[in-house]
Structure 1
Amino acid sequence: MTILFRTPQFAEAEEMARLHIACWREAYRGIVPEDALEKANVSERTSMWLQRLADSAVFVLAAYDDDIPVGFIMAGPNRDPAVPLADGQIGVLYILKSHYRLGLGRALMGKAAGWWLGQGGTSLGLGVLSENARAMAFYTRMGGRIIRTGTFNWDGHALSDAIFLFDDLEALTSSSPSK
């Protein structure tokens, strides 16, 4: 296994969209209603990926295992009013279940934190579904603290969520390998 971190190319947008949906289905089965997961649309996700890849204010990085994408992160300025204490935001972080516990999430978080520090940022926020115990534990281990709990609307389904704040970005960057 050889892991490489790089920004996906525009030509990979559909492949990244398929990965995004696969990660949703793995991470949220039993948490998000099945009908909402099955409605995930590759065309819509591909369009979102093309927009994010074209946006110079958004940090996009993927982890590749022998040229196959297995995880990714997107971060940028905070555009979420639910996270009033953060100047930056991690919009998404997903890893395929086959690649859990390899340090990819830690590495991607560290690289995003380093990028945000380089942009003059001081903190990152992110939202997570509260029933996603694995993610809740991961973000806590990474130094995040819950600053708000509430409800997230996923395709008409009200789901409990938690907002994490990471305000020690230096500590997050030290968790990232130098690769």
Structure 2
Amino acid sequence: MMIRNAVKQDAAGIAKVHVDCWRTTYKGLMPDSLLDNLSYEQRQEQWENGIGTPQQILFVAEDENQEIVGFACGSKRESAKEPHAGDLMAIYVLEEHQGKGFGKELTAQIFNRLHELGCQTVYVEVLAENKSKFFYESLGAKLYQEEQMSIMGEDLDVLIYQWKSYDHLLL
């Protein structure tokens, strides 16, 4: 297992993981038509434009064949309301590689960087029906708030989890 900072050349691998994970993770939670219309090319373009931006923290996980099998991204909140907070914005690991520690390692890298940026609290949003909420809970996240959000034109119930302390996750 290798966790490293993402570079522009990783955009295609990240896009593949992103689309494939959406199709497995959100099957039954989002309309099939939405999932079927996801495009590797479109996601690759989005990632090419986002990788390397100063406000984004992005790590990839590679397997023993140096194939990207997961990624995680986060950022420090630039809000005056909560100046010492950050977000775990996304974490995806291909289904066949889940349960091998990739998710925990990716999360730890994001948290290390957020800690370096002075973040004292970290948030993550997850669909209420998404079983990944149990992953966040196992890492010590506590339910902070519930709300409804429009994601790609669909109104969905979202849970917002919070870590007020995350020293146990730092490397």
Alignment TM-score, normalising by the size of structure 2: 0.91
Sequence identity percentage: 22
Letter paired with 2:36: E
> How much does 1:86 deviate?
6.8
Q: 1:35 aligns with which of 25, 33, 36?
A: 33
The 4+ residue runs of structure 1 with deviation greater than 4 A are 83-86
CA contact (8 A) 2:128 2:158 kept: yes
Go from structure 1 to structure 2 and tell me whether the alpha carbon gap of 1:127 and 1:85 turns closer, same or farther (over 3 Å shift). farther
Query: Which position in structure 1 is the counterpart of 2:71?
Result: 72
**Is 1:11 matched up with 2:13?**
no
Secondary structure of the corresponding residue to residue 54 of structure 1: coil
Q: 2:161 aligns with which of 136, 161, 164?
A: 164
Aligned equivalents of 2:84 and 2:21: distance in 1? 26
> How much does 1:113 deviate?
0.7
Go from structure 1 to structure 2 and tell me whether the alpha carbon gap of 1:141 and 1:162 turns closer, same or farther (over 3 Å shift). same
> How much does 1:92 deviate?
0.5
Aligned equivalents of 1:92 and 1:84: distance in 2? 20
> How much does 1:132 deviate?
0.8
CA contact (8 A) 2:142 2:163 kept: yes
CA contact (8 A) 1:36 1:154 kept: no
> How much does 1:44 deviate?
2.7
Alignment TM-score, normalising by the size of structure 1: 0.87
Query: Which position in structure 2 is the counterpart of 1:123?
Result: 121
RMSD: 2.1
Number of residue equivalences: 170
Aligned equivalents of 1:42 and 1:125: distance in 2? 28
- Aligned ranges 1:28-177 → 2 under 5 Å: 28-65=26-63, 66-78=65-77, 87-133=85-131, 135-173=132-170, 176=171
CA contact (8 A) 2:58 2:71 kept: yes
